[in-house]
Structure 1
Amino acid sequence: MQTSDGKNSDAASGWIAVVAGALQRGDGRWLMHQRPPGKPHAGLWEFPGGKVEPDEIPSQCLIRELQEELGIRCDPATLTPVGFAESRMPEAGRQIVILLYIVGGWHGEPAALEGGAIGWFTPPEVLALEMPPLDVMLAARLFQNR
């Protein structure tokens, strides 16, 4: 959005920021969330997370989203940004940028609180799941050096 002096403001009207968390158990398996019926990409698997609100920074948003979706508590010090993916074609007129963090620790046992399902998968199993295109890119980048 442009201000009256012609400069771009901090309000990003052309894109949506989304955060996602990569949670790994001690046995090397990674948590994936299956999108519930009635949502875009229903039935596909993704890294849990959600849209960043205008008053949030991405790490705060991820902590809130993981509490709402999975019922777990995370300390911001355990979050490590590891990559991002962006849509090449606008969805509903807006680009999507997903910021992926590794979640190094949490309190509580993850559960699918907002519908869908969760599962723990090895990297090859994650890569074989049906996922939205941006999660496919994120998973490939996450596991390329692991």
Structure 2
Amino acid sequence: MTEPLLTADAHLRREGVTEGAPRPVVDVAVGVLIGADGRFLLASRPEGKVYAGYWEFPGGKLEAGESVETALARELHEELGIRVDPAQVLRWREQLVDYPHALVRLHFCKLTQWQGELQTREGQALAWASLPVTVSPVLPGAVPVLRWLEEEAALG
């Protein structure tokens, strides 16, 4: 399911598409890792990256010719040291986010199975969270996921 454009400004307001020259869309595979206890994994963005210190769901950019599933498996291994079978990646939702630095299409995938122990290979902090989250600040692109998880929990 594709959600409407989310504009990430200082107030996290929902707005229309940014005026001006069109920008290329950067595709990003994002893993919503859900543990057996129902908690989900959040990671802080490491120093030196845009939005350093913000909390997000792990993942990264697709490389040329790469599928969402393959990119997510590669990124989770690079960032967290875990192995994911691309065939077991469940695409969940998409969200287009207009950040000041880039127009990003986030491909959110739910994962309940992976192999290996979590490692912080990029110096990021990790937190197993439940709703409402207690870590902050949360990256604007991750905010809709928290709402979707809350909606699913309400449905039982």
Q: How does 1:1-146 map to 2 (within 5 A)?
A: 14-87=24-97, 89=98, 91-92=100-101, 94-125=102-133, 129-146=136-153
Aligned residue type for 1:57: S
Q: Which has the larger radius of gyration?
A: 1
Shift of residue 84, structure 1, vs aligned partner: 1.5
Shift of residue 129, structure 1, vs aligned partner: 3.5
Aligned residue type for 1:77: A
Shift of residue 91, structure 1, vs aligned partner: 3.4
For the Cα contact (< 8 Å) 2:82–2:118, is it kept in 1?
yes
TM-score by length of structure 1 reads 0.82
Q: RMSD over aligned Cα, in angstroms?
A: 1.6
CA deviations on 1:26-83 (whole Å, 9 max, x unpaired) are 1221111101111111101000000001120110000000000000001123211111
Task: Give the 3-state SS of the residue equivalent to 1:106 in structure 2.
Answer: coil
CA deviations on 1:77-133 (whole Å, 9 max, x unpaired) are 32111112112x3533x411101000120001112111111111113226x632111
Structure 2: 5+ residue stretches without partners: 1-22
Task: Give the 3-state SS of the residue equivalent to 2:94 in structure 1.
Answer: strand
For the Cα contact (< 8 Å) 2:33–2:111, is it kept in 1?
yes
